[in-house]
């Protein structure tokens, strides 16, 4: 039967069983669509990285002898709409059946189901053969529970996939080697250069400009350097094992102006587009650690593996357990808009100007910049989670809704009321100061709470607790904060200070 098979932009999995045989009756369809460039304003590097990786993948399939129909954004017959494109092609080429891999986004899941209904030919969906668990696994695992504890899911994954196990026990007797006090980076000399893949992207850039695709962020000064093929992605993974794994856990939470990537892997884009599989990354890191146990502590490897085997897989499961309601949740009923400097980095607060500036320049910030600097501020300032989601979904190279929204609305903004986390991730200036050097270069003083030069995080922190008392006071993990707040002598002044900042966030 003449078959049309759709491959979405984040389904660049060359190891998929679809490709194990060459069949001239199968046509693979890949589309660059305005539908995808426009559902949110994306970072310019993100759009380039997706299109470039898709084009490389199509080339790879063709070289393997598969039949591929690749439609560029500027192609004349591109109607820019997924349904219209599929309908037209099925009609034009008389396809007998339509097949697709299950998408990871709710939006596309709904759309593809509707397309399948509207098509007159038989339609079939396949697993994307990427994740370690099925869509519904997390939902079933936590059946009947209000809170979904990541840690218990993670233990199960370790056992099921026999990762870092010693028989039935975790290696070295512990599941989790997270240190209470993750270190700030004190010595620049520890840093090693990232493995970049600079390339000329002027052709795609020109196409996007001509088409007037609205984007955010910059591509200008910083060379475009994201891995856009499986071969490049494997090099980034190798580089991580050889040079970065040794310090990964130690400096995972460090905040510094010295370097944007530190010891982070930069693998999220390669993983989320499925150029690499999570299991191969986890196994490679486990094996590398096993072979280098005298140099690399278990805590570095376990910390990294937990992010992928635990957090990444868990977030995906939460997404399918809680969508579409999750996207509407606003536990604190926050209503403010993001200040304009989220699109320029132009604020006097150094932690934010640095973290946002870096995000706009590189389409990248590491986890603690996303969670404890930018997300922390948005939550303390009472920004509407829709606003926060839209920004995160646009700005980061790795932002696809299933992993963006669960991290942003869930983990970072606590807008889900405690499905992902057990308490909100908020902190005052003291935390940011302790983790690195941002405060040293700041116009505000992290030690001052009230008056001239007072760091906004200090008063906003208490304002957040004060205004959300009815929602948080009964949480056993938070009660302590209220006892401290109620003992503060200058509580009223502190709240007034916060009010004055909240009146005009653009001024900060």
Q: Which residues contact ligand SF4 by CB under 6 A?
A: 349-351, 429, 432-433, 438-439, 442, 444, 446, 455, 457
Q: Is the CB of residue 36 less than 8 Å from the CB of residue 54? A: no
Q: How many residues bind ligand FAD (CB under 6 A)?
A: 27
Q: Is the CB of residue 370 less than 8 Å from the CB of residue 462? A: no
Residue 184 CB coordination number (10 Å): 15
Phi–psi pair at 162, nearest 5 degrees:
50, 50
Residue 141 CB coordination number (10 Å): 17
418 binds, among ligand SF4, ligand FAD, none (CB under 5 to 8 A by kind): none
Binding segment toward ligand FAD, per CB under 6 A, in 96-104, 139-147, 398-406, 494-502: 398-406
Q: Residue 446 contacts by C-beta under 8 Å, 6 or more apart in sequence?
A: 429, 430, 432, 433, 439, 455, 457, 458
Binding segment toward ligand FAD, per CB under 6 A, in 59-67, 100-108, 339-347, 403-411: 403-411
Q: Contacting ligand FAD (CB under 6 A), which of 6, 30, 245, 308?
A: 308
Binding segment toward ligand FAD, per CB under 6 A, in 86-94, 215-223, 332-340, 397-405: 397-405
Closer CB to ligand FAD, 115 or 246, in the complex = 246
Least Å distance, CB 491 to ligand SF4, is: 20
Q: At what angle do helices 150-160 and 313-322 cross, to 10 degrees?
A: 120
Closer CB to ligand SF4, 240 or 438, in the complex = 438
State the Cα–Cα distance between residues 66 and 437, nearest whole angstrom.
52
State the Cα–Cα distance between residues 93 and 353, nearest whole angstrom.
53
State the Cα–Cα distance between residues 10 and 494, nearest whole angstrom.
47
Task: Single out the residue of 82, 76, 73 nearest to residue 55, CA to CA.
Answer: 73
Q: Contacting ligand FAD (CB under 6 A), which of 58, 371, 460, 505?
A: 371
446 binds, among ligand SF4, ligand FAD, none (CB under 5 to 8 A by kind): ligand SF4
Least Å distance, CB 97 to ligand FAD, is: 33
- The neighbouring-strand residues paired with 216 are 43
**Binding flag, residue 272, ligand FAD (CB under 6 A):** yes
Q: Is the CB of residue 488 less than 8 Å from the CB of residue 479? A: no
- Letters for 443-482 (x = contact with ligand FAD by CB under 6 A, - = none) are ----------------------------------------
432 binds, among ligand SF4, ligand FAD, none (CB under 5 to 8 A by kind): ligand SF4
**Binding flag, residue 312, ligand FAD (CB under 6 A):** yes
Closer CB to ligand FAD, 10 or 99, in the complex = 10
Q: At what angle do helices 491-503 and 456-467 cross, to 10 degrees?
A: 100
Long-range contacts of 180-183 (CB under 8 A, 24+ apart): 182/249, 182/250, 182/251, 182/252, 182/253, 182/254, 182/435, 183/250, 183/251, 183/253, 183/254
Least Å distance, CB 502 to ligand SF4, is: 15
List interacting residues with ligand FAD (CB under 6 A): 264-268, 271-272, 307-308, 311-312, 315, 366-367, 370-371, 375, 392, 396, 398-399, 403-404, 407-408, 411-412
């Amino acid at each position: 039967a003449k078959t049309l098979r759709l491959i979405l932009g984040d389904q660049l999995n060359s190891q998929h069983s679809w490709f194990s045989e060459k069949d001239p009756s199968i046509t693979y369809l890949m589309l660059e669509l305005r539908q995808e460039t426009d559902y949110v304003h994306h970072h310019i590097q993100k759009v380039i990285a997706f299109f470039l990786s898709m084009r490389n993948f199509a080339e790879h399939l063709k070289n393997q002898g598969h039949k591929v129909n690749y439609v560029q954004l500027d192609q004349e017959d591109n109607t820019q709409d997924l349904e219209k494109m599929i309908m037209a092609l099925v009609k034009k080429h008389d396809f007998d059946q339509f097949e697709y891999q299950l998408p990871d986004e709710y939006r596309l899941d709904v759309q593809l189901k509707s397309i399948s209904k509207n098509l007159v030919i038989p339609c079939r969906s396949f697993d994307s053969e990427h994740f370690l668990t099925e869509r519904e696994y997390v939902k079933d695992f936590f059946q009947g529970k209000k809170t979904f504890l990541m840690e218990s899911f993670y233990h199960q994954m370790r056992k099921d996939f026999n990762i870092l196990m010693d028989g039935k026990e975790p290696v070295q007797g512990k599941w989790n080697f997270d240190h209470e006090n993750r270190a700030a980076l004190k010595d620049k000399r520890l840093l090693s250069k990232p493995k970049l893949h600079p390339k000329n992207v002027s052709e795609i850039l020109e196409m996007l400009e001509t088409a007037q695709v609205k984007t955010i962020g910059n591509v200008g000064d910083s060379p475009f350097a994201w891995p856009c093929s499986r071969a490049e992605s494997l090099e980034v993974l190798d580089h991580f094992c050889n040079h970065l794994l040794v310090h990964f856990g130690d400096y995972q939470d460090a905040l510094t102006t010295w370097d944007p990537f530190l010891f982070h892997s930069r693998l999220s884009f390669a993983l989320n587009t499925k150029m690499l599989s999570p299991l191969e990354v986890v196994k490679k890191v486990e094996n590398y650690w096993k072979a280098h146990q005298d140099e690399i502590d278990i805590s570095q490897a376990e910390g990294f593996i937990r992010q992928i085997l635990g957090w990444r897989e868990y977030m995906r499961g939460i997404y399918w357990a809680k969508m579409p309601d999750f996207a509407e949740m606003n536990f604190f009923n926050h209503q403010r808009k993001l200040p304009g400097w989220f699109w320029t980095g132009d604020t006097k607060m150094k932690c934010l100007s640095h973290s946002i500036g870096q995000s706009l320049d590189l389409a990248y910030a590491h986890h603690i910049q996303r969670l404890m600097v930018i997300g922390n501020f948005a939550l303390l300032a009472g920004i509407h989670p829709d606003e926060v989601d839209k920004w995160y979904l646009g700005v980061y190279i790795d932002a696809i809704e299933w992993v963006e929204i669960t991290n942003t609305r869930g983990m970072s903004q606590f807008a889900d009321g405690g499905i992902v986390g057990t308490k909100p991730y908020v902190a005052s200036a003291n935390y940011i100061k302790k983790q690195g050097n941002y405060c040293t270069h700041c116009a505000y003083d992290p030690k001052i709470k009230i008056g001239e030069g007072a760091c906004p995080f200090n008063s906003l922190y208490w304002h957040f607790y004060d205004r959300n008392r009815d929602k948080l006071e009964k949480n056993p993990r938070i009660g302590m904060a209220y006892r401290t707040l109620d003992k503060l002598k200058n509580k009223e002044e502190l709240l007034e200070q916060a009010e004055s900042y909240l009146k005009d966030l653009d001024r900060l």
